[in-house]
């Protein structure tokens, strides 16, 4: 079945245009499933039964996997078997009508505006790397880009004169996001004063580079963020996605419409964006309780 898995991953890459990170996730989930089938002496897709898939999900849960993880594995398996039917490798889909467990969505942690200000003030902008960090944080908070999108930006992807950035999101879908004056100021300052010092004259079109002048990794960005979060005295658990969540929440709190936020975040389905409405309703309750004389 390994050959079928490779065919499936090629299909996702070339036909569906999925990102490398998504392909890796599919590959990991399905490789674990195929290894489990091998232990049960199941060697062809046609031999897989509905009970085998359910047994695998139970196995994951017995090993301590979270419900969200088991649901993701099941989603990968269902996609895999739909592909096998589509390609004519099997006629009966054993994953048909298998329902994923309902997962309660955890509301994302967001920073207050005051915490955002403290984080932005943390980098020492006198140094090339400090100026780069300030520019990255400002741009991420100003646009709601995912960290992978931010680190994939090239110099030509940002137009500071017109005030927008072009990025490729999930499924390699392009979107244009406005960039505010403050973020534009810091990115322009970084490009004029720091970037050339970091790349040391090498030909590199990546916008944000590490201290060695190479493309920064997500792990590298996370370490930098953690350092500045601690320096800013922020006690919340902050991840690169926290700036994205804060961007969306602050926009909605200040009157932005949900469709516009959906477009800027690059969500294919508005239901994904609607999680932020829970946060803003919570904010309204807090304001009411603090402000209304009969709250």
d(CA 36, CA 46): 16
Helix (H, G, I), strand (E, B), or coil: what is residue 2? helix
d(CA 199, CA 220): 17
| 170 part of the active site | yes
| 267 part of the active site | yes
Catalytic residue among 50, 166, 241, 283: 241
Query: Within 13 Å, how many C-alpha atoms sit on residue 265's CB side?
Result: 27
| 193 part of the active site | no
Cα 225–chain centre separation: 16
Catalytic residue among 4, 146, 245, 250: 146
| 276 part of the active site | yes
d(CA 144, CA 156): 19
Helix (H, G, I), strand (E, B), or coil: what is residue 176? strand
Dig out the tokens for 117 from the structure.
């200000």
The residues, any chain, with a CB within 8 Å of residue 202's CB and separated by 6 or more, are 213
| 214 part of the active site | no
Helix (H, G, I), strand (E, B), or coil: what is residue 79? helix
Catalytic residue among 13, 170, 189, 283: 170
| Farthest-apart Cα atoms in the chain, separation | 70
The residues annotated with a catalytic role in the active site are: 146, 170, 241, 244, 267, 276
């Amino acid at each position: 079945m390994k050959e079928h898995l490779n065919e499936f991953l090629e299909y996702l890459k070339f036909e569906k245009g999925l990102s490398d990170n998504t392909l890796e996730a599919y590959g990991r989930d399905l490789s674990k499933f195929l290894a489990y089938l091998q232990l049960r002496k199941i060697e062809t897709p046609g031999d897989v039964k509905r009970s085998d898939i359910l047994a695998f999900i139970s196995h994951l849960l017995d090993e301590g996997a979270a419900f969200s993880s088991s649901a993701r594995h099941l989603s990968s398996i269902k996609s895999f078997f739909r592909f096998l039917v589509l390609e004519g490798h099997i006629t009966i889909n054993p994953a048909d009508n298998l329902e994923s467990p309902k997962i309660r969505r955890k509301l994302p942690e967001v920073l207050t505006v005051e915490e955002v200000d403290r984080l932005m003030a943390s980098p020492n902008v006198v140094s090339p790397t400090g100026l780069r960090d300030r520019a990255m944080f400002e741009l991420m908070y100003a646009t709601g880009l995912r960290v992978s999108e931010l680190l994939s930006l090239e110099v030509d992807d940002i137009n500071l004169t017109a005030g927008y950035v072009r990025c490729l999101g999930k499924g390699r879908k392009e979107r244009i996001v406005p960039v505010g004056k403050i973020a534009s100021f810091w990115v322009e300052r970084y490009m004029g004063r720091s970037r050339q010092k970091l790349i040391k004259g090498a030909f590199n079109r990546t916008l944000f580079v590490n201290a060695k002048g190479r493309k920064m990794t997500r792990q590298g960005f996370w370490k930098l963020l953690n350092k500045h979060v601690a320096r800013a005295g922020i006690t919340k658990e902050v991840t690169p996605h926290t700036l994205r969540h804060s961007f969306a929440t602050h926009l909605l709190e200040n009157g932005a419409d949900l469709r516009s936020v959906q477009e800027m975040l690059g969500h294919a389905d508005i239901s994904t964006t609607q999680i932020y409405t829970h946060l803003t309703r919570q904010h309204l309750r807090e304001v009411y309780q603090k402000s209304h004389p009969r709250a």
